Every structure is written in structure tokens, then in C-alpha cells.
Amino acid sequence: MILNPKTIVISGPSGVGKGTIIKEILKERSDIKVAISATTRAKRDYEVDGEDYYFLAEDTFNAMAESSSFLEWCVVHGNKYGTMENEVKRLMNEGSHVILEIDVQGAKKVMEAKSDSLNVISIFLEPPSVSILSSRLKLRNTETDEERENRLKVAVAEIKEKDRYDYIVVNNEKKVAASEIMSIINGFE
């Protein structure tokens, strides 16, 4: 049980490897948990509701947003994504550091709110280059060519926001990037 749990914001462009890096971190530490985000986007074949995301109908999501159930929420690539405040607080109350795997818009909202009870540490996961990011998106094969091009345009704008974060980690190799993030987390304990 961690006495002073932190909220660890890990964000970066689509396809940078946030989920992969977080899985590496979770292998190392059982006292670090991920706050599962809610989304209105369609579930991909390999995803599990309640594990990867909470997949919500638009009206359910909107009702939660209106009742201030989200710590942050925004529209990304045409779909709504949000972090449920009660999910984050529950995990922190259990004595775990909590990772928020969120996009740059959401991270900005959390960093601006930076309430003392959240103890926010923000980490921007950066690709080695935009061309490598493009290759990763193509390999993942979850978007059309047009959607992938849109994600790359958004990624270029998001990378310009990296200096707002407490730390920047380049994801050139997943084990190295995960180790760098673990060192950051361990430095606050």
C-alpha cells in the first residue's frame, strides 16, 4: 500500500505506444493501477468492455458529463473519451498509484485542475519521429488511410504541447521507455 499515491498522467499521440508501455509498467508493480477510461467509440474486436475501456452509449456518456462524473472528458477523433473521477479516487483510496492513459486534450485539463488530492505527475510519451509513428499506426491496422492521416496531423500538433508536461520520454524501445517512466515514479516515493 502506497502512503502518498500519485496520479500519473501518461499521454502522447495516437499510436505512440502508451498502452504497450503501461503494460510493461504493470508487470513490474502491482501497486500501480490504470483508471479505465470511458468512451463512445465502437469496441474493437480484441477489446474487452471494463478492461480496455468502458464502452458507453452517447446518451449515457452525456448524462455522466452533465453530472460532473468525469475528471476530464473530450472529443478525440470524433468520439468522446473521459476519465471517471470516482474510478481514480477509488484506486487512490486503495493505496495505489493511478495511471491515466489519456490524450493531450484530457491531460491538459487534468494538469490545469491539479488538485492537491490528485498528486499529478505528467509524462509525455513522444515517438522517435513522425515517420516512425506513421509506420506504427499503419502496422496496427485499426484505421483507414484517411483516419491515419488525420491522426498524424493531430499528432504533430500534440507533440508541440510536450513542454507543458513534467517529463518527456521518447518511446524508441518499449522496455527502455517503461524503465524511464518507472524511474520517474520511483523518484516520488
pLDDT digits (tens, 9 = 90+) for 59-108: 999 999 999 999 999 998 789 999 999 999 999 999 999 999 998 988 99
Cα separation, 10 vs 121, in Å, equals 9
47 or 188, higher pLDDT: 47
Q: What percent of the chain has pLDDT over 90?
A: 65
Average pLDDT rounded to a whole number, residues 18-30: 93
CB 110, CB 73: distance < 8 Å: no
| The pLDDT of residue 145 | 84
Strands in 38-39's sheet, in edge-to-edge order, are 54-55, 38-39, 79-84, 70-76
> Quick check: 54 pLDDT over 80?
yes
> Quick check: 30 pLDDT over 80?
yes
> Quick check: 5 pLDDT over 90?
yes
| The pLDDT of residue 113 | 76
**Architecture of the 7-186 domain:** 3-Layer(aba) Sandwich (3.40)
What percent helix, strand, coil does the chain show, rounded to 5?
45, 25, 35
Residue ranges of alpha helices (H) inside 8-141 are: 18-28, 58-66, 85-93, 104-113, 130-140
- How do 7-11 and 120-126 pair as beta strands? parallel
> What's the pTM value of the predicted model, to 2 decimals?
0.87
CB 86, CB 69: distance < 8 Å: yes
pLDDT band, very low/low/confident/very high, at 147 (cuts 50, 70, 90): confident
